[in-house]
Structure 1
Amino acid sequence: MKITQPTISSRSADLFKRGVDRLNAGQYTLAEALFREIVALDPNHAQAWHQLGVTLARQHQFAQGEAAMRRALALHESGELQRDLAWALLWQGRDGEAVAAYYAAIQQGVREARLFNNLGNLLKKHNQTVQAEAAYRAAIDADPAYALAHGNLAILQQDAGQCEAAEASLKRALELDPKANHLWLCYGGLLERQNRLDEADEAYCRGGRWESVQFLRRRVAHWQELERIDQAALQMIASGAAENLTPWGLLGIPSLTPGLHREAGRRFAESRWRGELAAAPLVERGAGLAQIDAALAAGEPGARLRIGYLSADFHEHATLRLLAGVLELHDATRFDIHLYSYGNHAPDAFWQMRLNALPATFHAIGGLTDAQAATQIARDGIHLLVDLKGYTTDTRMGITALRPAPVIVSWLGYPGSLGAPRLADYIIGDAVVTPPAAATHYSETLALMPHCYQPHDHRRERDVQPPTRAAAGLPERGFVFCSFNQTFKFNAPMASVWARLLGAMPASVLWLLDPGSERARANLHAFFDSQGVARARVIFAPRVAQEAHLARLPLADLALDTLPTGSHTTGSDALWAGVPMVSAVGALFAGRVGASLLHAVGLDELVAPDLEGYFQIALALASDPAWYAQIRKRLAQARSEAALFDTLRFTRDLERLYLAIVKREVEGGEGAVTVG
């Protein structure tokens, strides 16, 4: 009997069916091999090219997947092909082309809820909110049970201030998918912003978003069961169980390690700016630096290093209060300074006057998309871009992810590693907050200032007349311990030390910044009640303007730092006001700032290795008038002598560090970048 050989067409059909089966089973290597065999037999097999492209894209070979899909499109146009091409383009950060492909798919009859939802996400990302809402509603029309589209519509409504509509959309999403943790996170966030804290806590717990539970409870000093909740949150990081887990909110967890904090940053970046991180860089690392380095070294007339500062906080905010002096004192003959502001807050008259007088060019980029803003920075020819936000509120690190400058530096706003090497090449610290031995905990290369990483504004008011103790709500006599840190930095071990201090100094009081929440005040009073501290001895200071706060600070006798996240601007404010501070060295950047500040004013003896040492130092200062007077005298002298308050010296050191970073990029090197 004669055996008939299968035709190319029948063999391709068999291979195609097997390939689709392997693709659906997630066996991508086998599927790829089968589809490649088909196109080798039949180069005009459009479906095989299409599915080969999908298989490659699912293996994160997006450029190769795109090429295969375009080969398929050249053979046969289809809406499904355009839909899958859009997905491959999206993952390469080519948002505009992805939007065009999605619209092409729609025009060719594709009416899938997922397509409309993805299109809505892209449009929202590029500030096309009207079109994004239409896309989300089209997704819901296509599949009313598609919970994700209801959730994304809710986020859009919330951003527009439509809280009632947003809540209704989120409730509908949760009815459809009650096990969706990210939807509970969104719902909890909406409730928290409305100060419905008990409901927010319940929502976070129902969704298993333990990182948000612990932060919310720390905000209101609800410290019961935190150790168990903290461990659950840390396990989420270690296992990668939750996307969009904001690293900033983890800083209050005492058992958070530097390694886990870096990992949280990496995961956050990859979930938040996936496309931008995958896109081709706008500017290659190091491009053009050799030329400017040589020109500066040769003293060529007009040669200036072009520095860009990127932030949302160029208004009356903690960052500008610290940075204003540096910006004013930059050497305009050697440095061309540009400020890129994406904030929506208008500065008051005083700060606007200072901004207008700066030797810098101001760029308002708040109305631009991340891609547009990055393109402008690249066109401006910035040599070194300094991101001042990191993973703090209102961050737009999609701009830096697109790499608009040949070197990017993280500084000042976020106390830790971003975790994603593409977001920043260097992080500015000092030998205390970022010791060279801790370099492995950073995705960035350490760039170390010689004294302290934190600047100071040389134009702060000096010797303002303080109010009376009575006017500030303090007793006329007695030692005043203070901590004006945010409540989320407090915890039971820290507060227990404070209670011990109050017990050892019977006439003393503890002066805290009002947390702005009756629940937090009640919880703090209840804790100190349990430690035997009368309520009258824990006094809450109202929130006032910065000038009024600096004026009242000298009424305090001793500032108490916090762990695991310590005093930052709060600490420098106290020291500037002449109030000594006791600190302890933490494991994280955020817990070492107080030690750095004290080192920079020459008061290293006020830094303890642990909480017991912290207690002993604070008690000795409070009970030894002679030693306390000596410390106050040294701190008063430091205002005119110490490196911490010498803004001009700091600025020149920072400029030398910038030049050293450029030199390192041009010539290479190992270890931290330092300046003597």
Structure 2
Amino acid sequence: MSTDHTHVKDLLRRGLEYHLQGRLAEAAQAYRAALELDADNASAHNNLGFLLAQQQAWDEARVHLRAALRLKPDMAMAHSNLGQVLVATGEVADGKHHLEQATRLDPENPTVWDNLARIRLLGGDLQGGEYAAMRAVRLQQDDPALHVRLGTSVALQRRTDEAVEHFRRALGLDPNHAEAWAQLGIACFLHNDLGSACDALGRALALRPDDANAERHLALARLALGETDAAIAGFEHLLERHPEDGQTRLDLAAVLLSRHRPDDALAQLDALPEALRRSEKAVFHRAVALRARGDCASGDEILRSVADNPTGEYAERAKAVLGAH
């Protein structure tokens, strides 16, 4: 075995260790050093391509992953990694082809099934996502993340009880798995088990304080419990960190209206992105806010336009407000 070959193996091993520790700059340096010694090393190209994809450096990631497949056409992980990059950059059909090819090349690899499950779920193929997630779990039953993916796939199909079982199974494997707590909390919220939802979402946020999805659902659960001030505080805290979150801003506007704060509600509605500001929900709440602060003429004009939409979700609510005038 040549000295260069041994050095390449050492660099790849070191790069993988750095990669697993989240030290991406050092991992990339090790992979690049390996490629300087052996430009035709498929593993180095694949690992570097995957790392670059994590950093959303899509073009360079694609170059390295295609190089890996040119050198090793049957490398399942390179197909899987390239598939994810292609889907992320809008080449969905080609991306899915590579992801599916990975499962054919290495059907005993839980990672390629999990990657396929994630992409199918993102694309709305819920049954296909569930099948792929189930294959991954069967291959590696002690991985809590795989149980969370499977739970998410059935939760999206409104099989909440099954989803809760999968999330609890994940937590049995790892009681500190933040995503499992978050998804369990969301499932409980959708099942109207509000106390359990608050408990699970609180645990998720204790483990991962920057989880915006968990924080939003915790605020919604508190609102459903009648804890309006706590819900408002939760929405406001979330918007301090994510001012671009239009859905949370719209929810906050609605809650502020329920607390007889129309000026504050209008300020939130004015801050919505343009497309969301034109949504029927936002328009309806603007009308109600205008009426609440005394501008009934403007509010009623907007409400009539909402009421005149026969297919609108808020048409009946607008008619009810106008009828109560």
> What TM bracket, shorter-length normalisation?
0.5 to 0.7
2:247 to 391, 400, 418: 391
Instruction: Name the aligned partner's letter for residue 219 of structure 1.
Output: A
Q: CA deviation at 1:644?
A: 4.0
1:180 — aligned with what?
Answer: 177
1:107 — aligned with what?
Answer: 104
1:21 to 3, 10, 14: 14
Q: CA deviation at 1:35?
A: 4.1
8 Å contact kept, 2:137–2:147: yes
2:223 — aligned with what?
Answer: 218
**3-state SS, counterpart of residue 94 of structure 2:** helix
Task: Name stretches of at least 5 consecutive residues in structure 2 with no aligned partner.
Answer: 206-213, 254-262, 307-325
Distance, in Å, in 2 between the alignment partners of 1:175 and 1:49 is: 37
Distance, in Å, in 1 between the alignment partners of 2:15 and 2:42 is: 18
Q: Deviations over 1:170-194 (max 9, x none)?
A: 2222212221222222222322333
1:263 is the counterpart of 2:241? yes
**3-state SS, counterpart of residue 44 of structure 1:** coil
Q: Deviations over 1:561-610 (max 9, x none)?
A: xxxxxx755445xx4xxxxx4xxxxxxxxxxxx5xxx3xx2xxxxxxxxx
Bigger share in helix: 2
Bigger share in strand: 1
**3-state SS, counterpart of residue 136 of structure 1:** helix
Change (3 A) 1:45 1:212: closer
Distance, in Å, in 2 between the alignment partners of 1:93 and 1:265 is: 26
Distance, in Å, in 2 between the alignment partners of 1:46 and 1:220 is: 55
1:189 is the counterpart of 2:45? no
Q: CA deviation at 1:37?
A: 4.8
1:70 — aligned with what?
Answer: 66
Instruction: Name the aligned partner's letter for residue 220 of structure 1.
Output: L
Instruction: Name the aligned partner's letter for residue 14 of structure 1.
Output: H
Distance, in Å, in 2 between the alignment partners of 1:455 and 1:50 is: 49
Q: Deviations over 1:38-73 (max 9, x none)?
A: 545544333333333234334431220111121121
8 Å contact kept, 2:11–2:34: no
2:80 to 83, 96, 103: 83
Distance, in Å, in 1 between the alignment partners of 2:52 and 2:104 is: 26
1:56 to 29, 52, 56: 52
Change (3 A) 1:644 1:444: closer
Q: Deviations over 1:334-382 (max 9, x none)?
A: xxxxxxxxxxxxxxxxxxxxxxxxxxxxxxxxxxxxxxxxxxxxxxxxx
2:233 — aligned with what?
Answer: 253
Percent of paired sites with the same residue: 17
1:198 to 189, 195, 211: 195
1:11 — aligned with what?
Answer: 4
1:47 — aligned with what?
Answer: 43
Distance, in Å, in 1 between the alignment partners of 2:42 and 2:164 is: 46
1:144 — aligned with what?
Answer: 141
Q: CA deviation at 1:147?
A: 1.9
8 Å contact kept, 1:80–1:110: no
Show the 5 A alignment for 1:172-571: 172-208=169-205, 212-222=217-227, 252-253=232-233, 256=236, 261=239, 263-264=241-242, 266=244, 390-391=246-247, 433-434=266-267, 568-571=286-289
Q: TM-score, normalised by structure 1?
A: 0.36
1:160 is the counterpart of 2:165? no
Distance, in Å, in 2 between the alignment partners of 1:255 and 1:190 is: 20
Instruction: Name the aligned partner's letter for residue 163 of structure 2.
Output: A
8 Å contact kept, 2:76–2:112: no
Distance, in Å, in 1 between the alignment partners of 2:50 and 2:87 is: 13
Task: Name stretches of at least 5 consecutive residues in structure 1 with no aligned partner.
Answer: 1-6, 231-249, 269-389, 393-411, 417-429, 457-566, 576-580, 582-593, 602-637, 652-676
Q: CA deviation at 1:202?
A: 3.0
Aligned residues: 282
Greater Rg over alpha carbons, structure? 1
Q: CA deviation at 1:198?
A: 2.8
Change (3 A) 1:38 1:114: closer
Structure number with higher relative contact order (C-alpha < 8 Å, ≥ 6 residues apart)? 1
Distance, in Å, in 2 between the alignment partners of 1:211 and 1:128 is: 25
Change (3 A) 1:39 1:130: same
Q: CA deviation at 1:391?
A: 2.0
Q: CA deviation at 1:137?
A: 0.9
8 Å contact kept, 2:171–2:181: yes
Q: CA deviation at 1:144?
A: 1.0
Q: Deviations over 1:447-472 (max 9, x none)?
A: x99xxxx768xxxxxxxxxxxxxxxx
Q: Deviations over 1:460-501 (max 9, x none)?
A: xxxxxxxxxxxxxxxxxxxxxxxxxxxxxxxxxxxxxxxxxx
8 Å contact kept, 2:235–2:252: no
